């Protein structure tokens, strides 16, 4: 994604991104895509396309009279997107989610569906307190339910970041009780958390694991045969059967859990695990932190 030299309004950026995503992944863009998605007239939609071509990416699209729409040029290069399929998939997911709420919504994307598990309950008063504390660097006092040891206790937290892992959200915060930075699932807060005026003394700058970058080297499970390993390598676009994932040390356990690697890094069935972590000993991730992250993802 290229950096532009001039600021773009948020609403315009969303429309320019839609232009690129639809053109690249569907191969044909019309003003109807923009009209239906944003509820604007055809004249404004046409103006958006022309402005995109004039000021952002003059060589990205050409008009095809036969298809009656814009198609990607041979020299297409993303200007406001990354060009990854996940962006189009996210668009499909948003359409499905909105269509569940607004039955009459039609933004002219192909039919798709999302397989979702049960959502953890996050109450509005909890979310508002978490947002206020992280945004303004304030201390948050709250009751928090823990399974180990089981029970509810009063916590004084200094949050710095909201983190989404799959469909679950947690708060990265300094905990006065434990005297360290930990992750707190938003669904586990009880009562009405209170954000007080006291400024946080422990910020993200003091969170060593948050600021430390680690490289996860993933390889196909060595128990698979050569053909199976080649298939897995192609799935993840590996180079020389290796995939490097850069992430914060604090988030590495969640990345590993999302790839099916438990606390012991090995599933009995290689057809299920499919991947291995090749540089585990070099990471320096505390086993306790990894186990907590695995349990948080599993809802334990």
Q: What is the pTM of this model?
A: 0.73
How far apart are alpha carbons 21 and 15 in whole angstroms?
Answer: 10
pLDDT band at 16 (very low <50, low <70, confident <90, very high): very high
* pLDDT computed for residue 265 by the predictor: 56
How many other CB atoms are there within 10 angstroms of residue 79's CB atom? 20
- Paired residues of 156 in beta bridges: 141
Retrieve residue 172's tokens.
Answer: 């990265």
- Judged against a pLDDT cut of 90, whether residue 218 lies above it is answered with yes
Phi, psi for 159 (deg, rounded to 5): -75, 150
Q: What is the pLDDT of residues 48-107, one digit of tens each?
A: 999 999 999 999 999 999 989 999 999 999 999 999 988 988 888 777 666 554 444 555
- Judged against a pLDDT cut of 90, whether residue 1 lies above it is answered with no
Range 15-43 average pLDDT: 91
Q: What is the pLDDT of residues 133-157, one digit of tens each?
A: 999 999 999 999 998 888 999 999 9
Which of 190, 147, 154, 188 lies closest to 171 in space, CA to CA? 188
How far apart are alpha carbons 173 and 131 in whole angstroms?
Answer: 12
Q: Cis omega before residue 149 (within 30°)?
A: yes
Stretch(es) of the chain classified as CATH 2.30.30: 124-207
How far apart are alpha carbons 291 and 300 in whole angstroms?
Answer: 11
Phi, psi for 171 (deg, rounded to 5): -115, 125
Q: What is the DSSP string of 50-75?
A: HHIIIII-TTSEEEETTTTEEEE-TT
- Judged against a pLDDT cut of 80, whether residue 7 lies above it is answered with no
pLDDT band at 267 (very low <50, low <70, confident <90, very high): confident
Assigned CATH topology for domain 124-207: SH3 type barrels. (2.30.30)
Stretch(es) of the chain classified as CATH 1.10.10.10: 10-101
Assigned CATH topology for domain 10-101: Arc Repressor Mutant, subunit A (1.10.10)
Q: What is the pLDDT of residues 249-258, one digit of tens each?
A: 999 999 998 8
- Judged against a pLDDT cut of 80, whether residue 260 lies above it is answered with yes
- Judged against a pLDDT cut of 50, whether residue 269 lies above it is answered with yes
Contact present, 70 and 27 (Cβ < 8 Å):
no
The better pLDDT of the pair 8, 239 is held by: 239
Give the torsion sign (CA, 63, 64, 67, 73).
negative
Retrieve residue 49's tokens.
Answer: 């396309």
Specify the DSSP element, H or E, that contains 11: helix 10-26
């Amino acid at each position: 994604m290229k950096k532009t030299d001039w600021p773009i309004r948020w609403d315009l950026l969303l429309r320019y991104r839609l232009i690129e995503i639809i053109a690249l992944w569907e191969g044909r863009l019309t003003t109807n895509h923009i009209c239906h998605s944003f509820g604007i007239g055809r004249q404004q939609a046409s103006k958006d396309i022309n402005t995109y071509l004039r000021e952002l990416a003059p060589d990205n699209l050409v008009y095809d009279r036969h298809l009656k729409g814009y198609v990607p040029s041979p020299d297409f290069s993303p200007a406001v997107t990354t060009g990854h399929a996940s962006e189009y998939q996210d668009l499909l997911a948003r359409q499905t989610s909105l269509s569940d709420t607004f039955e009459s919504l039609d933004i002219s994307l192909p039919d798709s569906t999302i397989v979702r598990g049960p959502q953890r309950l996050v109450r509005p008063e909890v979310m508002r307190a978490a947002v206020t504390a992280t945004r303004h660097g304030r201390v948050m006092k709250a009751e928090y339910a823990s399974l180990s040891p089981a029970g509810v206790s009063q916590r004084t937290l200094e949050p710095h970041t909201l983190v989404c892992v799959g469909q679950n959200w947690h708060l990265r915060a300094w905990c006065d009780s434990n005297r360290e930075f930990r992750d707190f699932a938003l669904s586990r807060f009880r009562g009405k958390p209170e954000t007080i005026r006291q400024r946080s003394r422990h910020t993200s700058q003091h969170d060593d694991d948050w600021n430390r970058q680690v490289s996860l080297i993933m390889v196909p499970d060595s128990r698979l045969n050569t053909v199976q390993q080649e298939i897995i390598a192609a799935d993840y676009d590996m180079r020389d059967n290796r995939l490097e994932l850069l992430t914060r040390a604090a988030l590495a356990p969640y990345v590993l859990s999302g790839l099916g690697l438990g606390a012991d890094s090995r599933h009995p069935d290689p057809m299920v695990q499919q991947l291995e972590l090749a540089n585990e000993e070099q990471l320096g991730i505390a086993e306790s932190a990894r186990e907590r992250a695995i349990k948080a993802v599993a809802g334990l």
